[in-house]
Amino acid sequence: MKHLLSINDLDKDFAITILDTANEMARVSEGPVKKLPTLRGKTVVNLFAEDSTRTRISFEAAAKRLSADVINFTAKGSSISKGESLKDTAQTLQALGADAVVIRHPASGAAHRLAQGRWMNGTVINAGDGTHEHPSQALLDAYTIRKHLAGGKGDLKGLRVAIVGDILHSRVARSNVLLLTKLGAEVVLVAPPTLLPHEVQAWPVKISYDFNSVLPTVDAIIMLRIQQERMSDLYFPSDREYSTLFGINSERLALTKSGSILMHPGPMNRGLEISAEVADSAQSVVVEQVANGVSIRMAILYLFIAGSQELVNG
């Protein structure tokens, strides 16, 4: 296995191996020396053709903790903003001797285009492509859920997870649906019908338009960011109505199962899909998701670049 483009690139066992490896990586990050020599001499390029803060920093931190050389290549101020094609960028990366490219791109399938092999060699890690997938986010979400609700090991059998909001445009939702169901969890999507993909019935999920009835039945709730421009595209009447029907606030939090956790991939729109009190509540694991993101990305880089599936400490 060479590239991580989609959760479909992982079988269940390997997905669990990534989560287990992340456990080991977390131990490294908690230790006095937060660094492993594993990727010494390897070059990792962060190719970010779309604005991103946490994912880029997370991958950068992960690569550095594994002693890789990191080159950051972002849209602003680079040749990408001057209209350079993805092909030319890829060929540049090839010339630079990149062992791996972590790509964030506004176009769905951009990571696939890099990985088809005609423009560059090297491992391609999809860090979010358009409205397609965001595999490392799903892995860190699964890791977070497993840590809190499944003893930090094995799969997610018996757990029920709600993903709430703009499913249609969400790469986080697509990757999470694939991964969480692969790991045995049950997934329920909560959204207005306008923000669900066409033929979503074919997905291995349940659908609900009634957030309140779902809340007491789930162990984890993943809230998705709602983009302001969706309103002008007629997906819903107003942000007020959206917030009333599909946002989470203290009243809704009171309906949740005890011990359940609340997640958000960030950045949050406080007051829109999530109220400030809820974002900062004890059930919220949003900040922890960020920390877990580094461990997961260390595991991904290690397993995909070093080409070994053995655990770090054997």
Partner 1 sequence: MVKKILIKGGSILGETKMDILITDGLISEIATNIESVSTEIIDATGFVILPGFVDLHTHLREPGRENSETIATGSLAAARGGYVAVSAMANTLPVADTSAIVEQVLAIGKSVGLVDVFPIGAVTKGLEGHELADLGSMAHSNAKVRVFSDDGNCVSDPLMMRRALEYVKQFDGVIAQHAQDPRLTEGAQMNEGAVASTLGLKGWPAVAEEAIIARDILLANMVGSRLHICHVTTKGGVEIIRWAKSQGMKVTAEVTPHHLLLTDESANSYDPIYKVNPPLRTQSDIEALREALVDGTIDIIGTDHAPHPVESKECEWQNAAFGMVGLETAFPILYTTLIKNGRISWQRATEVMSSAPARIGGYSNHGRTISVGEPAHIAIINPSGKFVVDRAKLASKSKNTPFHGMEFEGIVVATLFNGHLTHKVGN
Tell me: does residue 230 bind partner 1 (CB under 8 A).
no
Q: Which is nearer to partner 1, 152 or 197 (CB)?
A: 197
Stretch that binds partner 1, among 84-92, 138-146, 186-194, 268-276 (CB under 8 A): 84-92
Q: Which is nearer to partner 1, 187 or 298 (CB)?
A: 187
Q: How many residues bind partner 1 (CB under 8 A)?
A: 24
Q: Residue 247: which region, alpha, beta or left (left: phi > 0; alpha: psi -120 to 50)?
A: beta
Is 225 annotated in the active site?
Answer: no
Q: Which is nearer to partner 1, 43 or 131 (CB)?
A: 131
Q: What minimum distance in Å lies between the beta carbon of 199 and partner 1?
A: 4
Question: Which of 85, 194, 244, 250: binder of partner 1 (CB under 8 A)?
Answer: 85
Query: Residue 104 has which token pair?
Result: 């964030």
Question: Which of 65, 171, 230, 297: binder of partner 1 (CB under 8 A)?
Answer: 171
Q: What minimum distance in Å lies between the beta carbon of 205 and partner 1?
A: 12
- The one-letter amino acid code at 90 reads A
Is 240 annotated in the active site?
Answer: no
Are 113 and 105 a contacting pair, CB within 8 Å?
Answer: no
Stretch that binds partner 1, among 107-115, 186-194, 245-253, 260-268 (CB under 8 A): 107-115
Question: Which of 57, 107, 188, 231: binder of partner 1 (CB under 8 A)?
Answer: 107
In 3D space, the residue among 68, 8, 72, 65 whose CA is nearest the CA of residue 31 turns out to be 65
Tell me: does residue 133 bind partner 1 (CB under 8 A).
yes
Catalytic-role residue among 42, 56, 65, 104: 104
Tell me: does residue 108 bind partner 1 (CB under 8 A).
yes
Q: Which is nearer to partner 1, 184 or 197 (CB)?
A: 197
| Cα 132 from Cα 117, distance rounded (Å) | 20
Tell me: does residue 199 bind partner 1 (CB under 8 A).
yes
Tell me: does residue 110 bind partner 1 (CB under 8 A).
yes
Q: Which is nearer to partner 1, 89 or 243 (CB)?
A: 89
Catalytically active residues, by annotation? 54-55, 82, 104, 134
Residues in contact with partner 1 by the rule CB under 8 A: 85-87, 105, 107-110, 112-113, 116, 129-133, 171, 174, 197-200, 202-203
